[in-house]
Copies of this chain bind each other. A is one copy, B any other.
């Protein structure tokens, strides 16, 4: 059974539609209209009326046409009856936003819902969820303000984690092509979605916030994901025993042992991170950078301290910086003596845009290294925008197929990062740690690609 009715519906009913701005049932209709959904929209509410020029139907029965997807903006007490009606009508998929199921101990209600959707064959996202967005079909059925179309996908078991993540996406001018914020995840699973979209070339990388898998789901996830080519980054909630207890009362799933997760995820090439911003930084890196040809990393820096800290973080992940090979040192002999040609290559505070450009071009063209990090902390007398442009120019002019990661700090940091948000896009990580994880995740991707 495909997920077409969920993600590519020809018609959508909004149950609990409202003509009052600010109400959930209004916002759902508004978003579909605003984003240009091209199928039919049927707002439904016993009170009738009109919303945004569309007739509000008093009941599902009034709609003569078939309905593919229902967005159910009704309280938990009305869900069972509503699903029955959807089933009788032959609706193929539904998003249930309401809370009040297993996450508050109401397991019975959730099981009743589960049996019902299985009987009728309705595919469901939720309950207790923020909804779905798929820009590929102009389908905007979620409560997430300010989300733009982009190259990433987010599957999240928590609406609030979705908000935490989208805040950071926004600040980096990144968007989501696909969002599934599925809450209690009663039916449609991560691996079904990943499998369904495996040929969608608009999705470059996945971010997953997962609290747990239901019985049997872990195995299927493993089978699907290990054969999938798209990068997947995961933040796991409910790692420890207390966190797991909290997760159970959050989305009603059992969290499982984190050690088992770590081993299994590595095996299937899923990269695990520890923080919301790392989820975004690493997904951005994997989306926009090529798979490296080897595991040698070089750092070019204008600042000793931040270079030392980055070296530490790489070493923490088992990626020691190799000393600069002799032939490369030879090519760098034009550097003045007080600049360090040893890896990390330290251009010192005198590292201007010309030096960045020439050193990076050599590293990007020569046979060493495989991955380049260009770290820059502008002293007050240096223009960080000019340096960023030099880093970007070196990348373009060298026509390199090596991953290049800029890491910029300082008071004009975000202006400098904007230079990398064009075409081609280069990743713009927040911290030393997340930069080292981008490298680590690239190396994991390389291992996965070598296995195939």
Binding site for B on A (CB under 8 A): 22, 24, 27, 99-100, 103-104, 143-146, 156-161, 163-164, 166-167, 170, 209, 211, 235, 237-243, 245-247, 249-251, 274-277, 302-309, 311-316, 320-321, 337-340, 342, 344, 346, 348-349, 377-381, 409-411, 413, 431-433
Contacts and interface: CB of A to CB of B under 8 A. Distances in A.
B306 A158 contact: yes
- The 10 tightest CB contacts between A and B, nearest first, are A158-B305, A160-B303, A250-B304, A240-B315, A161-B305, A243-B312, A160-B377, A237-B308, A164-B409, A243-B311
Contacts of A309: 161, 235, 237, 243, 276
B349 A99 contact: yes
A305 B156 contact: yes
B163 A320 contact: no
A211 B305 contact: yes
Contacts of A100: 338
Contacts of A411: 145-146, 163, 166-167, 170
A175 B128 CA distance: 43
A157 B305 contact: yes
A449 to B, nearest CB: 26
Contacts of A211: 305, 308
Given A247-B308, A340-B249, A160 B239 contact: no
A159 B239 CA distance: 38
B338 A238 contact: no
19 contacts: A24-B381, A143-B379, A143-B380, A158-B306, A159-B305, A160-B302, A160-B306, A160-B377, A160-B379, A161-B305, A163-B410, A166-B411, A167-B413, A239-B315, A240-B320, A246-B307, A249-B340, A249-B346, A276-B431
A76 B275 CA distance: 44
B146 A251 contact: no
A240 B275 contact: no
Contacts of A413: 167
A312 B240 contact: yes
Contact of A312 (B27, B159, B238): B238
Nearest to A24: B381
A374 to B, nearest CB: 14
A30 B398 CA distance: 43
Contacts of A432: 275-276
Contacts of A306: 158, 160-161, 164
Contacts of A313: 274
B243 A308 contact: yes
Given A306-B158, A410-B167, A413-B167, A145 B380 contact: yes
A166 B239 CA distance: 34
A432 B245 CA distance: 18
Given A145-B380, A379-B143, A238 B308 contact: yes
Contact of A159 (B240, B249, B303, B344): B303
